[in-house]
Amino acid sequence: MYKHLLILLLVVPVTLLSQSETVFVDNLTKKLDMQNVIDTNKNIFIKAKTAVGYKFRLREHFAPAVLMFMAGAADGLNQVVSWKYHAFKKVFPGVNNIFWSPQLSYKNKYKNHDPAQGEKFFGSTTFLVWTTDAYHSTRFAEHLFMVGTVAVKLTQQKRKWYYYLAEAAGYWIVNRAGFTAVYNSF
């Protein structure tokens, strides 16, 4: 049903990695004429008439986009496990219910699966809770991928604030695509 998403997952990274040059986008208020567009086999350059032009580097957005997609996929898996566990179990019949089932797994952080007995081990109800069940593991993965995206973006070139806003909107769309790819598969 979602085979086209698999094709996109394979084709888009190959396409992005094959791009070795920069695409220059001129000031958006000026009209582009065909004399300023040079078309080569692999790349299209739009010459900037001023120094104000924004340099869009495809490779620069690959790692953050993949990380945001993975964050969305982790969120989608989290919601599938939480709200569509019966469908998840049909696709993965051999999974460990004690770890994956939301009705059972929340007790994994307690001694003998009894909240009255306290923590199973040091940190099992706080900073190490992500090791106890699927819900917390997928939340941890989602947050880890998002922090990775921010870390990658912080190491890249400085821009004006509105470029960051536009990029954030684009990454949000990629994140929701990851969510949809996983959540709608069940």
pLDDT tens digits, one per residue of 27-54? 444 444 444 444 444 344 444 433 455 6
User: What is the total count of domains within the chain?
Assistant: 1
- What average pLDDT is seen over the chain? 79
> What's CA 67's distance to the chain center, in Å?
4
Whole-number pLDDT of residue 51? 40
> What's CA 123's distance to the chain center, in Å?
28
The answer to whether residue 10 sits within a structural domain is: no
User: What are the DSSP calls for 93-148, one per residue?
Assistant: TTS-HHHH-HHHHGGGGBGGG-GGG-BSSTTTTTTTGGGT-HHHHHHHHHHHHHHH
pTM of the entire structure? Answer: 0.67
**Which domain does 134 fall in, by range?**
58-183
The answer to whether residue 103 sits within a structural domain is: yes
CB 60 within 8 A of CB 170: no
The answer to whether residue 42 sits within a structural domain is: no
Query: What pLDDT digit, counting tens, does each position of 89-107 carry?
Result: 999 999 999 999 999 999 9
How far apart, in whole angstroms, are the C-alpha atoms of residue 185 and residue 112?
Answer: 35
**Closest by CA position to 153, among listed 163, 143, 142:** 163
The answer to whether residue 39 sits within a structural domain is: no
The answer to whether residue 47 sits within a structural domain is: no
The answer to whether residue 140 sits within a structural domain is: yes
**Closest by CA position to 55, among listed 161, 152, 157, 132:** 157
The answer to whether residue 44 sits within a structural domain is: no
The answer to whether residue 122 sits within a structural domain is: yes
Task: Quote the tokens at residue 18.
Answer: 């094959």
Report angle CA 173, 174, 176 to the nearest 5 degrees.
65
Quick one: 35 exposed, middle or buried, by C-beta within 10 A (0-12, 13-18, 19+)?
exposed
Query: What pLDDT digit, counting tens, does each position of 46-81 carry?
Result: 444 334 556 777 888 999 999 999 999 999 999 999
**Cα end-to-end span (Å), the chain:** 10
Q: What is the DSSP letter of 180?
A: H
Task: Quote the tokens at residue 94.
Answer: 């051999």
